[in-house]
Chains A and B, each alone.
Chain A
């Protein structure tokens, strides 16, 4: 077969091309022809197809994501905003922190172990590419029903993949979420967050500038794995008739766990990535890098076009120089491969030798594959012939943009009218007690230790808080004790009832969780997991959620610094619940002042902060006891969230509280149970005046937390709450070896522990 060179393409305008099989729309293909003034070569078509995929181009979401910039609150803390590999936040003392959450949803369904493992690998390289040393990871995970047979296939593989990769990289896993809901059956959500630390002066950006500078590809050899991972293709479909095509998304519209899709999943080697990290940090330390980009989705197509697009010149690449695992790969496959553990650096000629020397020290393969050129073209050669000649911006940054139709679903009103307040409530103390046990044993509320014990939380020696704490906390300076806290949260049930409020509640919870540890929330990253953008109802959910999140970020003063959109999480007509997952980063000046969640000291007073109303729409109680989803989610009051956070931070700093735990799904009784079990202490609770026991225990009103106050601090603490007008109600005392709700029931800790900790091992061990 002859090579499809630029010259050949110009002379054969009528040759049929597999644009549809590559996931492109007819008008998109036509647009490529207009941009180039001819038909694209096969290699060019490959590049455009992956870069214009939903995953890379954000073509359906872009018009909505704009709001994160337009509505961004003024923040002195933001050093690098949306658009780079990850945002960068100033945390003081000359340190900058970068963090980001991404999805690896579809690959993790097709091949759970590798999908989840390479999800970690990808986000870690994004953080590394900013110039930072990665210091921790977190994993927000969502699976189908806990007792569904396919969940038994997916969950253990995902957990082993996250552990297998993250543990071997030496990054502590400090938190995340595990949620079960049958809406994720067939569309599990495997999101991964990484946080990294650097000095301000070490920030690196993805751009190629300086004519004559060399382009160095380093890391693993390029193989045939993950070809078309970001679009729809498995490797064989490039030259053979393809299966029914679908527009591209996170992976595929109708994911098939069968072997047909496996080649589109990348295979990870964490050892290689560990070497890549150390090697990259060493070349940064010697200031040898002018620009850098990791290779993730869309592989070399992405790295070369984004580097060239963001820089001032053009770029010329000799594809023959790319080290291969399989010599038979075609140029198109090399450009589309998503082989892991690769990075691309732009290096001044005088630094090339030293760069290669450091790579050799770490046994990392490094090859000069091209250089920055004058002009504004990205040119790629194969066997000396030109196969790509494109304006890089048209590939990387000027892809199609769609304003897709959106429509509030017809069922939304009926769903909201189906109020959970009308559900039958427990008839008396006996039934209340039984429901508390059922809730704490339900898969969503049960202990996640069986999962998190498969992750190393100690490595690097700076983990101050880790799961099941409200937020993970990492010390970043051993002398000054400066640290950061991170939490991720999302509640698809709330978002289904009201996507605008649901996104705000996700932010509010994450913000609250960070504040509960004693850290001051600074910035946000988000992973927006939704169904198909071609469904106007889903698009409405997406538009509402992004609007809600952007508005709430403005109110709370926490800008979105970056993140990821995952669409097409849908099987047939049934989409997942809209699931915006929000990560909040906070800073704490002295990590030794952090507030853990455990009730550890007998006699301390338990205070409930915030207001409790009868809010059960989307609640854990309505799900576990009644299998119900309807009504409205808890009311959002962002000013109250901010006030609560201020009180939690001040109380932590001034030593007024010894424990704090945020109230969210499952309500007060769930939070108290967790704090008691963690500390090995019981609690005696009194139902406050004006509330019935059921509402007190199970309501999910937002803007609340429980704290344990040493008796000597009570006056100071309540004075502070009064001065700031935050409702603080004394609801009990840390005492004994049972959770007792006076006048209602007593549950021995041993019985609670058995219920809480038995569920996951029984399902998955």
Chain B
């Protein structure tokens, strides 16, 4: 049986097609989920894609967090459902309190789109098992509000528990505390990051194919589960 990975479309989602393409390239079946529909249609994992859900009005991800579909996703995530939040999806995971901290306006105050070097700090999550710990990868980054912030205690806790999953290398692109690009929940099934692995799955259109292991990782985990 093929593994089904849901990709949610909110009003203003932009990278939903790209996430679905990446799922397909990894060998799983992408399933389109709609923000207004609580039903997850028996998916085995969920991706919250990038974009500007609800126009990013109020705060990025703040309105999406109250969508009917999020109610089911939040409950599922607490029960172990693998959930990946990319960019706007990461912002939603923080707004939903599935992940600690928040994303703020880039410190240089500009939107930035560039190929970003990252180090995989934790290869034990549902979405990073196909990487090696310490592996350096390059994937696109594109955001206006990607500065990760949390209080010192939370940051220390994340570090101590190995929940910093990705760190920016070379140049911190947005003022994120401790160069943090992505984190996970204690169980490792919920991962959020600002860079866009779904834009690095084909040599033709991406700077690398370094993003593909995200999508194969979750596939293997689900098949072996």
Contact = CB atoms under 8 A, between A and B. Distances in A.
Contacts of B85: none
A726 interface: no
Contacts of B52: 167-168, 270-271, 274
Contacts of A274: 11-12, 14, 52
B11 A271 contact: yes
Interface in B1-32: 11-12, 14-15, 17-18, 21
B205 A271 contact: no
A461 B206 CA distance: 8
A363 B11 contact: yes
Interface of A: 160, 163-164, 167-170, 269-272, 274-275, 362-363, 452-464, 475, 478, 591-592, 765
A458 B113 contact: yes
A164 B105 CA distance: 14
B74 interface: no
Nearest to A455: B113
B36 to A, nearest CB: 8
22 contacts: A160-B110, A168-B55, A271-B52, A271-B57, A272-B55, A274-B12, A274-B14, A363-B11, A453-B112, A453-B113, A455-B111, A456-B111, A456-B142, A457-B113, A458-B205, A460-B17, A461-B18, A461-B202, A463-B205, A475-B204, A475-B205, A591-B204
Contacts of B140: 458
B55 A270 contact: yes
A658 to B, nearest CB: 15
B198 interface: yes
Contacts of B202: 461
B14 A459 contact: yes
B14 A453 contact: no
A460 B18 contact: yes
Contact of A458 (B51, B142, B204): B142
Contact of B12 (A271, A452, A458): A271
Nearest to A591: B204
B116 to A, nearest CB: 11
Contact of A454 (B12, B57, B113, B205): B113
A169 to B, nearest CB: 8
Nearest to B57: A271
A592 B204 contact: yes
A362 B11 CA distance: 7
Please list the 5 inter-chain residue pairs (A to B) with the smallest Cβ-Cβ separation, ordered nearest first: A271-B55, A170-B14, A461-B18, A458-B199, A168-B52
A300 to B, nearest CB: 24
Contacts of A168: 12, 14, 52, 55-56
A168 B112 CA distance: 13
A527 to B, nearest CB: 25
A391 B217 CA distance: 65
Contacts of A271: 11-12, 52, 54-57
A384 B179 CA distance: 64
A458 B11 CA distance: 20
Contact of B199 (A167, A275, A363, A461): A461
B138 to A, nearest CB: 13
Interface in B194-223: 196, 198-199, 202, 204-206
A637 B199 CA distance: 41
B114 interface: yes
Contacts of B198: 461
A638 to B, nearest CB: 33
Contacts of B113: 167, 452-458
Contacts of B112: 453-454
Interface string B72-105: 0000000000000000000000000000000000
A459 B18 contact: yes
A718 B142 CA distance: 42
A117 to B, nearest CB: 13
Contacts of B204: 464, 475, 591-592
Given A271-B12, A271-B52, A274-B12, A461 B114 contact: no
Contacts of B54: 271
Nearest to B9: A278
B205 A462 contact: yes
A603 to B, nearest CB: 22
A271 B57 CA distance: 9
Interface string B110-139: 111110000000000000000000000000
A114 to B, nearest CB: 16
B196 A167 contact: no
Contacts of B18: 458-461
Given A362-B11, A460-B17, 16 more contacts: A167-B52, A167-B111, A169-B14, A170-B14, A271-B57, A272-B55, A274-B12, A274-B14, A454-B111, A454-B113, A455-B111, A455-B113, A456-B142, A458-B205, A461-B15, A475-B205
Residue of A169, A272, A458, A460 ringed by the most chain B CB atoms within 10 A? A458
Residue of B18, B52, B204 ringed by the most chain A CB atoms within 10 A? B204
Contacts of A275: 11-12
Contacts of A458: 18, 113, 140, 142, 196, 199, 205-206
Contacts of B196: 458
A163 B12 CA distance: 15
Nearest to A166: B111
A486 to B, nearest CB: 16
Residue of B21, B57, B111, B112 ringed by the most chain A CB atoms within 10 A? B111
A616 B55 CA distance: 49
A271 B204 CA distance: 29
B115 to A, nearest CB: 9
B11 A170 contact: no
A160 B105 CA distance: 14
A81 B113 CA distance: 36
A83 B202 CA distance: 39
Nearest to A457: B113
A309 to B, nearest CB: 35
A170 B51 contact: yes
Nearest to A271: B55
A363 B35 CA distance: 12
A281 B201 CA distance: 27
Nearest to B13: A170
Interface string B51-71: 110111100000000000000
Nearest to B34: A361
Contacts of A362: 11
B142 A461 contact: no
B205 to A, nearest CB: 6
Contacts of A272: 55
A18 B15 CA distance: 50
Nearest to B198: A461
Contacts of B55: 168, 269-272
A453 B116 CA distance: 12
A461 B144 CA distance: 19
A453 B142 CA distance: 9
B114 A453 contact: yes
A461 B205 contact: yes
B17 A461 contact: yes
Contacts of A270: 52, 55
A160 B110 CA distance: 8
B149 to A, nearest CB: 22
Contacts of A455: 111, 113
A456 B50 CA distance: 12
B114 to A, nearest CB: 5
